Amino acid sequence: MQRHVVVGRTAQLRTEKIPKFSTGLLGQGLITYRNKRYLLWQQAAHRMEIDGKSAGSLVEDAVVWANQHGLVVALKDPKFVNPDFAVIHAPLSLMPVPYPRGRFELAQQVMPLLNRLVDAVADDEGYLESTLGPAALYDTFTGRLLKTLQTTRSARSALRAAGKEVVLGIHRSDYMLDEPSGKFLQVELNTIASSFGCLSALMTQLHLYMASRLPALEPSRLPANPTLEHIPDAIAAAANSVGYREEGGVVVMVVQPGERNAYDQQWIQLGLWERHRLRTVRMTLGDIAATATLDKAQGGTVTLKTGEPVCVFYFRAGYTPADYPSEAEWAARELIEQSNAAKCPTVAYQLAGTKKIQQDLARPGILERFISDGRDAGLLREFFAGLWSLDPKDVATDPGVAAAVVDAIARPEAYVLKPQREGGGNNLYGEELREMLKVGGEQLSAYILMQRILPPANRSVLVRNGQWSESETLNELGIYGTFVRHGKNVLLNEQSGHLVRTKTSSSNEGGVAAGFAVLDSPYLVD
């Protein structure tokens, strides 16, 4: 195959206006934050060209490397007794994506702020209830989570009063680079089941291997990706704070049955064992309901049927109604919430990451309730896209909302309608968006109106299920954060690595596990 393959940016990003809080030299696009200078100009596009034949050979080498290093997903072939036993390379991109170094490093810097923001918002249960209450009227899942929050409140208070509350956050803040402004704008903040942490670290290593093979790629431009260490270390820090290590305390990973992404989870399990001798037990909510017991109704120890106490409940499930097919699963969630184990996340942490909260925090003054330092709040706002509530009350009374709705009807291509339901699917664009807004009414409350982020076009070589293709793509960057607090002591508050997901420009949904996208990694250009 003699096709010519081009990867990398083809358009030059525009230079950007200087944000208000810059103290750098005027006109040079500098920003100084916490005594560190970030250069925000984007100079040239970054292009690499490889011919089609070399691409095929590099793809084979990349796939073999992936299979040698556990950058894999289960094949789920029904002919094996255990479908996890056969694997195939994870969907991947051959070469990394160029990103502006200054903005990338700023996104890393801002993660500990986001970790603190989540903790502060989750701590204000009144705020969560008043902000999400209206949504609960039509979204029974959010409603049920709020109800769980209420019924378990006294257990939480008792734990706090005894100084035994251990809080564990493993978040991922997702951004896309917005070409007009040159900024990373937040797509969403994941506070539950933030996945691909481990496979993304392996992608970094794969691209380092690619850099050793291709002189055009400089290894120093592939930023370090410490997820494989940070994520197990945060879980272990929480487990050690809870205690029960000498009694054989375990981590329970709450999983979905038939999980295809199990290998990303298994790397965390291996890291917990090798780095901390902490054992992980995989259980569904149904398993927990059937076999786990809570010693005391309030702030007590959960014990498994096999006798081990549980130090940490780490959720890789529980974010979708499908994980709660009966009352038993909700009972399991309540049991977990009432226990003295660290929960990643608590119900409050899960609610703090919803799109409605994301939209509400963007309103003037609301973010500042939780982040009082003006510079910190200003830096966070650098990453916020335009977000507007579509509650009938806000549409009627808030001139900002009304103007946005009018503009969105006129220029639907600059907006997106997002349902509050987590898990992707059902975003509305273009004509569908315009129609929904024109019709209006109560049904609009199920959505958030958001500025559409316009990423620059990129070209990538995508490798899936043993086949490769070249295509124009869009890319989404996730930054991981880890946070552990024991009572009033913050033990750990880190930026913990990153993930890039790449999808063809034509598909509107970006979840890798859903089959539309591949794993990638960032390549920093000055």
Q: Which residue out of 225, 501, 510, 521 is catalytically annotated?
A: 501
The smaller minimum CB distance to a second copy, of residues 89 and 207, is found at: 89
CA angle 388, 391, 397 (to 5 degrees): 80
In Å, what is the CA distance from 450 to each residue of 118, 183, 276, 350, 359? 21, 16, 43, 21, 8
Annotated catalytic, 218? no
The smaller minimum CB distance to a second copy, of residues 77 and 247, is found at: 77
> Which of these segments, 1-9, 139-147, 174-182, 261-269, binds a second copy (CB under 8 A)?
261-269
The neighbouring-strand residues paired with 254 are 283, 315
Of 4, 15, 36, 60, which one interacts with a second copy (CB under 8 A)?
60
Could you tell me where the DSSP H helices lie in 169-284? 197-213, 227-242, 262-276
The neighbouring-strand residues paired with 525 are 100
Give residue 59's Cα distance to chain centre.
28
The smaller minimum CB distance to a second copy, of residues 4 and 69, is found at: 69
DSSP state of 374: H
| Minimum distance, C-beta of residue 467 to a second copy, in the bound complex (Å) | 5
> Which of these segments, 153-161, 183-191, 265-273, 407-415, binds a second copy (CB under 8 A)?
265-273
Give the burial class of 421: count Cβ atoms within 10 A of its Cβ; 0-12 exposed, 13-18 middle, 19 or more buried: middle
The smaller minimum CB distance to a second copy, of residues 195 and 266, is found at: 266
x-marked contacts with a second copy along 268-287 as a string, rule CB under 8 A: --x--xx--x----------
The smaller minimum CB distance to a second copy, of residues 93 and 458, is found at: 93
258 part of the interface to a second copy, by CB under 8 A: no
252 part of the interface to a second copy, by CB under 8 A: no
Annotated catalytic, 369? no
Cα–Cα distance, 523 to 501 (Å, whole number): 13
- Ranges within 82-121 binding a second copy (CB under 8 A): 82, 84-89
Can you spell out the DSSP letters for 172-186?
Answer: EEEEEEETTTTEEEE
What is the sign, positive or negative, of the torsion defined by CA atoms of 167, 247, 232, 354? negative
Q: Is 261 annotated as a binding residue?
A: yes
The neighbouring-strand residues paired with 169 are 483
HSE toward the beta carbon, residue 155, CA cutoff 13 A? 23
Annotated catalytic, 372? no
Q: Which residue out of 418, 434, 459, 485 is catalytically annotated?
A: 418
Residues that bind a second copy (CB under 8 A): 60, 63-65, 67-70, 72, 75, 77, 80-82, 84-89, 212-213, 263, 266-267, 270, 273-274, 277, 465-467
Q: Which positions make up the binding site for substrate?
A: 172, 192-195, 259-261, 265, 316-319, 501, 512-513
Active site amino acids: 172, 188, 190, 195, 355, 418, 422-423, 501
